[in-house]
A and B are shown apart, each in its own frame.
Chain A
Amino acid sequence: MVTRNPYLLLGVDYGCEPDAARRSFARAARRIRRAGTDRISTEDLTWALHEIQNNHADPSNEVDTYRVPADPRVFAPAGEGFFAPAPTPLTRRTETTPSDVDTLTAGLADDVDLLLAEVLPHVVRFDYGYQTPEGTEL
C-alpha cells in the first residue's frame, strides 16, 4: 500500500514550507469541492497539513515521500508579458550641477597635467640660441 503524500493532497510543491502549506489549504479544499471527488476528504487535508507542520526532518534528504514536481521550473512558464511586465527603472531624482561637471573636468585636467609634465620636456629642445658659422643654432 502506497503511503499518503501530504504535499500532493494539499497541491503544493514537495518540501514546501509549513506556512505555504497552510495558505494552500483553502485552495485545496476548493479544488476537491469543484472536482466533486470523493477520493479526498477535508480530514485528509487536515491530516496532510498536520503532517507537514510536524515533520521536522529536512524534506530535501527524505526518500520516503514521492516528490512532485521533480523540477518546479517546468511548471512556471518564464518570460515577460502582459501578466508579468518588465520592471521599470526608477526615474532619476538627482540633477547634475555645474559643480559636478567641474569635478569631472578637474579630474581630466589633473590627469592631462601629469601627462603633459611627463611629455613636454622630451618634445622640445632647449637651445642656447647661438648661430654657428655653419648656420645651426646651439
Chain B
Amino acid sequence: MSPVRSVLVAKLCSSCGRELAPVDNFCDQCGAPAHQRDEPRHDRPVTRRAAPTPAAVLPGPDRALARSLVRQVRPVPVGRALRDPDGAMCLACGADLPGDVLASPCASCGTPTTLVSDGVPLATVTVLGGLHRRRAGLRKRPAMLVARGADDCTLLLHNGRTLTVAPGDLPATTDPGPGPDTPVLRSPVGPILRHAVTGDGSLPWPADLLLRHAFDALATVPWARRVAALDLLALGRPDLLGGCGLSRTETTWLTLVHGARRGDAAEVVAAAAALPPDRYRRKIAIVAALLAQLRQVPGAAERLAPALRAFAGTEPLAALAQRALGLAGHPPRQRIDDHVTRAGTFPVPVELVHLLDARAAGSSALLGARGRLAVLHAAADPDPGLAVAVSLDDAPLAVVDDLIDAGKVTDLATVSAGRPDDQQAYLTARIAPDRLSDAQLERVGHRDEAIRRRLLAGGTDPTDPTDPDRTSPMARHAASVDHVLRRRPQDVVAGHVLPAHREVARLLTDVITRADAGEEPAALLTGPLLADRSTWLPLVRLFGAERLRGAGGELVRGFSDFFEWLDLTAAREHLFLADWQRATDAARRCLELATGEAVRDEAQNLLACGLHNLGDHHGAMRELEQAIEGSYSVALLANIGVVAAHLDPELAAGHLGRIVREGPTTAMRVNAARQALAAWRSDDGKLWAGDGSDRRALPTVLREPLRSIVVERIDLDDFRAVVAALATHDAAWLTAPNSLRASPHRDTLDARYHLAVAAEDMFLSVVDVLATIQDWAAAPEWLCTARDELVHQTIDFLLGHIDDPDNMAGIVARALVTKVRGLPERDQVVLALLAVATLAHHVTEQDEELADGVVDLFGAYEGRVAALDAEQREAVAGLRELCVRRITLNLAFSRKREIGTLVDLYNAALDVLDRVQRGSPLWFRARGQVAETVDACQRTKAQLRPWVRKLEDADVRDMVLGFLDHCADLELKAQRVLGS
C-alpha cells in the first residue's frame, strides 16, 4: 500500500457518515467537504464583543442536532445564493456572463465556459500513461506511453530516456489499470498524473519526470487542460495546477473551490484574496457560506476587504460579509437580520429559519442557554418547557422582571439561582412575597407584605401610623379589617377594601350592625360569608362559638365544615375552662356532623380529654384508640399513654408498651417505658422478701419493647431504669449471653451491677461488683444507695432471723464485710458479728466444727467494738455475747465429739496393755493411743479455757466447765497409765 493512500484510507463524511473515496475531497452523497480527521472542526468563533465570562460556561446550541437536520436538505450550487442565481461567470477571467450565452466564449477574454469545446474528437483521443514491458538487454523493463503522434508513439524507458516507435511496434501492455479506490480521471494524461501522484515506488521514474511528460503532452492538446486540472484536483493536488497551462486567475479560482470543498478556510481566504477583487462574483457566495470558519483565519477580514467592497453595492451577501467580518458596524439586531438573510439565501433547514423570529418561538431545542433566554423574552407565547430550560443566572435583572411581568417565569428557585442576596430578596418579593424571610422583607422594603403579615398575625392595628404608605391598597384594607375586628362597621369604607373582598366586607358589617341591634348572629350567617374561611375565627372572636350555633338547617348542611369546626372550637374552649362536661358535649356534637378523618380524630381527642378528666379513663381510651386507627398521630399515641397510666397496671403496661414499640423518638419511647415500669412496680422490692413475688415476670406487651429499647442509644439514666426492671422481672433473658451486646452501655458499672442483680446468686454477685469500687467518694450515687440498702437490709434480715439455721445471709454479711471497702465502722462490726453468730449457729446445727476463718473474723472485729461510741457499743454488746456463746458451744461440741471417739479407743488400748508383753509392737501402739488421748485433753483445755473466760451465760459455762473437768479426769488417768 502506498504511503499517500495510507493517510487517506477510511475517511468518513462528517455530515452523513458515508465512507469517502481516499482522494475525494467532498462527499458525493451530501456534498459536504471532507475534513481531515485531525483538523480542528469549526470551533466557536471568537466574538468581537467582550463576552462576559459566565456565558462561556452556559450550554451552547445543539450543533449535533443541527447537523442531523441537514440530512433532509438537498445541497444546491453555492452560486445560487447570489442576487442573480442563474448568473454565469467566465472561469478564465472572472467576468460576469450573460445568462443565455453559456456556450459562447467569454466576451471579455474569449475563453469558452465549457469544459471541453465542441468538436474535439473525444472518441479518438488516445489515453497516455499506459505501461508496457520492453526487453532491454537481458531483462524486461517497464516503459510508459507518454506521447502519441499520427504515426509514432513515444515511450518513456526505465532509464528516463525516451524512445520513438511505430504504433505497431508497441510492446504488449502490462498496465493493471487504476486500483478500485482511485478517482475517475478524465483527461488523456490522467494515468500519467495518477502514476506521478500516487506512485508507490514500484515504477522506476521520479514524480517530477512523469509530471514533465504529462504537462508536455498536455501542451499538445490544449482542449484537455481543464480536464487535466480537474484530474489534479481529484487527485488532491491543487499545487500542481500551474502545469496545466490555464490562466493564473482560473487556477486560483479552482484552488478557492477546492479549499471550500475541503473546508480549508486558510486556502479559501488566500485564493479569494488573490483573485481580482471585482471579478469572480461567486467567491462572494462561498465567503458568505463559510463566514464563521473564515473569521478564524488571521487577517481574513483585511485580505477579503477589497473583494467585498467591490461587490458590496450589488451583492447583499457581500455587504453582509463585511459586517460579519467586522469591516462594518454590526449591532445585535443587524446580526439577526443578517442571519435571516443568509438563512433565506441558502437552503437552511426550516427549523433554523424559525429560530430567527424570536417572537415565533421556534425549535428552541437547537439553542443554547443564551439563545433560549432571548426567545423566552421575546416570544409572545413561549413553549412552557422553555422557562425551565433557560438559565437566568446572568440575565439582567430588568429582563427577569420582564419575564415575571409577562408571567413567563413563576418558579422562584429558577429565577433567583446564583444571584446576590439583595436580588434574591427582590425577586422573592416579586414572585412569592409570602416566602420572604423577615430580614428579606425588611431589606427589600415591601410595605404591603409587611402590613399583610401584621394583619395575619392578628396585630390590633396592622398599619403603622408613621408609615408613609398608609394609603396603599393593602394598608387601607388592613385598616378596614381592623374596623371590623373592633366592631366599628360604620368606619368601614367599601372602597378601601381590596376589590376581591368587598362583598364579604359588606356581609360582615351587615352582620355586626344587625347583631348589635339585637338580632341573633347565628341567624345572620350566610353562605357567601362562610365560604370565606378567613372569617371563621374572627366570627367566633366577635360573637363567641355558642351564639353562632343554631343556624338554619340548610346552611348547616351546606357549610357543615364550618359548623363542625365551630363545635370543635367550642369543645376546646370548654377544656380551657376545665368545663369537662360541656367539652364532651361539644365534641360529641362535632362528631355527629363531621365525616372528615382529621376533624373526627381531633373531636375524639378532645372528647377523650374531657372523659379522662371526668374520671372515665376507659371511655377516654376507647375514643383515642378509635381516633388513632388509620392515620398515625404521635399526639394521639402519647395521649393513649397519658390515659393508660390511670388504668390498672396490666392494661397500662399494654398501652405504654405500644408507645415503647411505636414511638417516633427514642426519648419518647424511653419515657413511655419508664412510665410503664412505674405503673408496673408500684410497690418496689424488698430485697429479702424471700417468697419470690418480686421476681414476677413482665407481661409480654411490656417485655418485648423493654428488651429492644434497653440496647438502643439511650441516656445512661434511662438505661439504668430499664435494665433495673429487666434485672428484676426478666432476669433469665438479661443474663443470657449477648443480651446487652448491642447496648452502648454494656460495659458500664450500671450494666455490671444489674447483671449481678439478675444473677442466680444475686447477693454474692452484687457484692463482687461492689468490691470493685476502690473509692466510694467517686462512686455514682445510685450505687452508694444500693450498697447501703443491701447492707441495712442484710443487717435487718439477720437481726430478725438470728436463730434461723439458714446461713445464706450470714455468708453475704461476711462477704460484705470482707470484700467491700469503705463501709461505716459500726456497719462493719455489726455485719461481722452477725455473720459469725449466724455461721456458728448453722455449723453447729450441722454437727460440724467452725472454720478457723470465722473464729478469726470474730477475733478481728471483737476488739473493734471497744472503739465504737457508747450507744453503738451498747447496741452490739448482745451480738458479741451471742457470738462468744455460739463459738464456745460449737467448739465444745466439736471437742466432745472428738473425746467421745477417743475414749473408746483409749479403753481398748488399756485392754491391750494389760494383755500383751511389754515392749511388743502391739504394746507400743496401745501406748501411742493413750498418749494421743492426753494430747486431745490438753488441746481441748487450751482451746476452751479462753472462751470460758468470756462466757457470760452461766448454763453454758457450767456445761463447758463440766466437760473440761471430765477431760481433766481423763487426762489424769491416761498420764498414770503412761507413767506406770
Where the two chains meet, the residues of A that have a C-beta atom closer than 8 Å to any C-beta of B are 2, 8-9, 11, 14, 28, 31-32, 35, 37, 39-40, 58, 60-71, 73-85, 87-90, 92-97, 100-133, 137-138
Contacts and interface: CB of A to CB of B under 8 A. Distances in A.
Contacts of B609: 8, 66, 68
B560 interface: no
A130 B88 CA distance: 10
10 contacts: A81-B501, A85-B498, A96-B402, A106-B370, A114-B63, A115-B352, A118-B63, A123-B349, A128-B230, A129-B89
B635 A109 contact: no
A127 B534 contact: no
Contacts of B667: 58, 61
Contact of B293 (A37, A70, A115, A117): A117
B75 A116 contact: no
B973 to A, nearest CB: 85
Contacts of B932: none
Given A125-B75, A133-B116, A92 B579 contact: no
Nearest to A58: B667
Given A84-B456, A105-B374, A124-B347, 18 more contacts: A14-B635, A35-B577, A63-B641, A63-B656, A64-B642, A64-B675, A67-B642, A81-B504, A84-B534, A90-B444, A92-B430, A104-B370, A104-B373, A104-B395, A112-B61, A115-B352, A119-B352, A129-B91
Interface in B215-271: 226, 230, 233, 253-254, 257, 260-261, 263
B335 A109 contact: yes
Interface in B60-79: 60-61, 63, 66-67, 69-70, 73, 75-79
A15 to B, nearest CB: 9
Given A117-B292, A118-B42, A70 B602 contact: yes
B495 interface: no
Nearest to A4: B578
B699 interface: no
A36 to B, nearest CB: 10
A124 B42 contact: no
B642 A63 contact: yes
Contacts of A110: 47, 51, 368, 370-371
B800 to A, nearest CB: 37
Interface string B325-364: 0000001110110010011001111001001101000000
B598 A131 contact: no
Contacts of A60: 634, 665, 668
Contact of B115 (A73, A104, A120, A133): A133
B577 A115 contact: no
Nearest to B256: A126
Given A90-B444, A131-B102, A120 B290 contact: yes
A77 B561 CA distance: 10
B115 A87 contact: no
B5 to A, nearest CB: 24
Interface stretch (B29-37, B791-799, B895-903): B29-37
Contacts of B346: 120, 123-124
Given A61-B668, A113-B45, A107 B69 contact: no
Contacts of A66: 609, 612, 639, 642-643
B565 interface: yes
Contacts of A121: 32-33, 260, 263, 289-290, 293
A24 to B, nearest CB: 10
Chain B contact residues: over half helix, strand or loop, or mixed? helix
B289 A124 contact: yes
A124 B76 contact: yes
Contacts of B431: 89
A22 B598 CA distance: 29
Contacts of B293: 117, 121
B367 interface: yes
Contact of B348 (A62, A82, A95, A120): A120
A93 B635 contact: no
B434 interface: yes
Contact of B60 (A32, A111, A127): A111
A83 B115 contact: no
Contacts of B336: 105, 108-109, 112
A132 B120 CA distance: 13
Contacts of A83: 455, 481, 532, 534-535, 537-538
A31 B433 contact: no
B77 A124 contact: yes
A77 B529 CA distance: 14
Contacts of B78: 124-127
Interface-centre pick from A39, A85, A112, A117 (highest chain B CB count, 10 A):
A112
B635 to A, nearest CB: 4
Nearest to B445: A90
B636 interface: yes
Contact of B55 (A107, A115, A137): A107
B404 A92 contact: yes
Interface string B857-877: 000000000000000000000
Interface string B518-555: 00000000000000111111100000000000000000
A114 B44 contact: yes
A40 B578 contact: yes
Given A60-B665, A106-B49, A92 B401 contact: yes
A74 B342 CA distance: 66
Nearest to B505: A82
Contacts of A39: 577-579
A38 B282 CA distance: 107
Contacts of B477: 85
A23 to B, nearest CB: 11
B635 A69 contact: yes
B426 A111 contact: no
B575 interface: yes
A114 B67 CA distance: 11
Contacts of A116: 292, 339, 342-343, 348, 352
Nearest to A92: B401
Contact of B230 (A74, A84, A130): A130
A73 B44 contact: no
A50 B716 CA distance: 28
A69 B605 contact: yes
Given A90-B444, A125-B75, A129-B89, A81 B373 contact: no
Nearest to A115: B66
Contacts of B426: 90, 93
B311 to A, nearest CB: 17
B398 A97 contact: yes
A34 to B, nearest CB: 9
Contact of B429 (A68, A89, A128): A89
B813 interface: no
Nearest to A73: B598
A123 B70 CA distance: 7
Contact of A112 (B15, B371, B641): B371
B145 interface: no
B742 interface: no
Interface string B558-591: 0000000100110011011111000000000000
B659 interface: yes
Contacts of A105: 332-333, 335-336, 358, 374
Contacts of B672: 63
Contact of A125 (B77, B456, B633): B77
Contact of B572 (A68, A78, A79): A68
Contacts of B44: 114
A110 to B, nearest CB: 6
B314 interface: no
A78 B533 contact: yes
Interface in B292-307: 292-293
B710 to A, nearest CB: 18
A77 B599 CA distance: 12
A37 B370 contact: no
A87 B352 contact: no
A130 B115 contact: yes
Contacts of A125: 31, 75-78
